[in-house]
Every structure is written in structure tokens, then in C-alpha cells.
């Protein structure tokens, strides 16, 4: 199981949304001592498959696989078993796949880990993509609930069916923390903010965007940051600015 972060650096998941392994390798070598995890998603997987994960292993870096699986239960179950067998222990699925899909994934993944003598994987549930706003939710998906209530409903599905946490914005994270209360299992529940932009960065194609400060004060554990770092002239300086912002928020939260 993935441990909750102990410091600001461990909270940061850097998105490796690049087109080739050479770029990915350079980013990992430069920044592995400044961030907690590297996110591997569709661009690298489509081009290189499990070679992307092997690269992180070789460089001594930790991986968060942003797969967002969403299919019939049997198909997603088999895909997640394959991840576990390839030593990928931090990944996600779409909660919108339904409780049957989610529960079967959790059960099958844990069984696969047990058969290997490995720790249980940490599986998060994607609530609503950060590129979605209220208009898209209502007019295209025909969901009448406001976004926060809809995400909270999905978070309950995730928790009730054994997922270890969810992917949600800071505003939604705050509501989830408030509604779940302070019981031990609620405190262990992981929340990851997917579209985090420091105050000095542009939002690009995201709609529901948070700053690192927003994420920390809302009770989020991890945050995914990509272009503000990877496109920076001085990437280490960019990460250090983000770490400073996180630490400042942590100090405020502890007062």
C-alpha cells in the first residue's frame, strides 16, 4: 500500500506527458530527488507499453499509473491483474464504471498481489475529469446534480467498494473530508488533486484547477503537476517554488 506523504516533496506527482522515452528519462533523472512520484499515462503507454515502467524502476523512481480504466468488469479486472503482475502498485480506475466493476477490480488486484507475496496495490477512483465543468456535466451527461454533490456520490461508491481513495479537485476534496468525518478509515482515504497549477502558471486545457495551497488546505494528499514544471526554463527552481507553497500551506493547516 502507498503511504500517505510525510513531506511536501512526497505530495508531488509529476506528469510525464511527453512523447518519447528519451524526454521521460531526462525528466526523471533531473527531478527524481525533488518529487514523490512520476505519472505515466496514455502518451507513453501507447508508444512504449511496460517499457515506460521499467525505465522508472531502473532509475529508482516511483510510478503512479494514470490508466483511468473504464470498461466492463471482466475486462478491467484482467487489465488490473496485469498491472499488479508487472509490479505496478499505484493506479486508478473510473468510478463511473460502476460498483460491480470497482469491487471486482479491488478483489482481483488484491488476490493477484497475495499470490505474488506482494503488498496490496493502492487503487484510486477517478471521479470527474478536470476538463469537465458544470455545463458539460448537465447538458452532455444529463446529470442534474451540481459537481460537488456528484463527486461526493462517486466518492461514496469508491469507499463502499474498497478503493483506497479518489481523484478529485480541492473544492471537492474539502467536501469529501467533511462528509466522511474523522474515523480512522476516513483518515486513511487518499485524495489526489489531478489538475494542480501554482499561482504563477496558466491553466491550459483544464477547467477545475487548484493551486498547491488549495489542495493542501482542502485535505488532499497528493497533487499532479505537469506543464508548470516540465515546460519551465529552470525545472528544479519551479519544483522548489511549488514545495515552498506546499510547506507554507502545511504550516497554515497545522495552526
- Taking each helix axis as running N to C, give the angle between helix 235-254 and helix 21-31, from 0 to 180 degrees, rounded to the nearest 10: 50
Would you give the DSSP letter of residue 231?
Answer: T
Largest CA distance in the chain: 47
Residues 6+ apart with CB under 8 A from 6: none
**For the chain, how are helix, strand and coil distributed in percent, rounded to 5?**
50, 15, 35
Q: Is the pLDDT of residue 197 over 80?
A: yes
What is the spatial distance between Cα 90 and Cα 53, in angstroms, rounded to a whole number? Answer: 12
What are the b/e assignments for 198-230, b being 16+ CB within 10 Å?
A: beebeeeebbbbbbbbbbbbbbbbbbbbbbbbb
Q: How confident is the model at residue 255 (pLDDT cuts 50, 70, 90)?
A: low
pLDDT tens digits, residue range 38-79? 999 998 999 999 999 999 999 999 999 999 999 999 999 999
Per CATH, the number for 8-254 is 3.20.20.70
Of residues 62, 68, 174, 184, which has the active-site annotation?
A: 68
The reported pLDDT for the residue numbered 252 is 86
Has 175 been annotated as catalytic? no
pLDDT tens digits, residue range 202-221? 555 455 578 999 999 999 99
Contact 224, 194 (CB under 8 A): yes
Question: What pTM value is reported for the model?
Answer: 0.93
Which residue from 23, 13, 20, 29 is spatially nearest to 63, judged by alpha carbons?
13
What is the spatial distance between Cα 199 and Cα 253, in angstroms, rounded to a whole number? Answer: 19
Which range of 106-115, 122-131, 137-146 scores highest in mean pLDDT? It is 106-115
Radius of gyration of the chain from its Cα atoms, rounded to whole angstroms:
17
- More confident call, 71 vs 133: 71
pLDDT tens digits, residue range 224-254? 999 999 999 999 999 999 999 999 999 987 7
Instruction: Return the domain boundaries, the chain.
Output: 8-254
Amino acid at each position: 500500500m502507498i503511504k500517505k506523504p510525510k513531506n511536501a516533496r512526497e505530495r508531488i506527482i509529476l506528469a510525464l506527458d511527453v512523447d518519447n522515452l528519451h524526454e521521460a528519462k531526462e525528466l526523471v533523472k533531473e527531478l527524481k530527488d525533488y518529487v514523490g512520484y512520476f505519472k505515466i499515462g496514455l502518451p507513453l503507454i501507447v508508444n512504449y507499453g511496460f517499457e515506460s515502467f521499467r525505465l522508472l524502476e531502473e532509475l529508482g523512481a516511483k510510478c503512479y499509473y494514470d490508466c483511468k480504466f473504464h470498461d466492463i468488469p471482466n475486462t478491467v479486472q484482467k487489465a488490473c491483474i496485469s498491472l499488479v503482475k508487472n509490479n505496478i502498485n499505484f493506479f486508478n480506475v473510473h468510478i463511473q464504471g460502476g460498483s460491480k466493476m470497482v469491487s471486482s477490480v479491488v478483489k482481483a488486484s488484491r488476490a493477484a498481489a497475495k499470490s505474488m507475496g506482494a503488498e496490496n496495490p493502492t487503487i484510486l477512483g477517478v471521479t470527474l475529469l478536470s476538463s469537465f465543468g458544470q455545463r458539460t456535466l448537465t447538458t452532455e451527461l444529463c446529470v442534474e446534480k451540481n459537481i460537488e454533490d456528484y463527486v461526493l456520490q462517486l466518492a461514496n461508491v469508491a469507499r463502499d467498494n474498497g478503493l483506497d481513495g479518489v481523484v478529485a479537485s480541492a473544492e471537492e476534496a474539502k467536501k469529501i473530508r467533511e462528509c466522511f468525518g474523522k474515523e480512522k478509515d476516513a483518515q486513511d482515504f487518499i485524495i489526489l488533486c489531478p489538475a494542480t497549477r501554482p499561482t504563477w502558471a496558466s491553466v491550459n486545457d483544464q477547467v477545475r484547477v487548484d493551486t498547491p495551497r488549495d489542495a493542501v488546505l482542502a485535505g488532499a494528499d497528493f497533487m499532479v503537476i505537469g506543464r508548470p514544471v516540465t515546460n519551465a526554463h529552470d525545472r528544479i527552481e519551479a519544483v522548489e517554488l511549488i514545495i515552498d507553497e506546499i510547506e507554507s500551506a502545511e504550516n497554515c493547516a497545522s495552526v
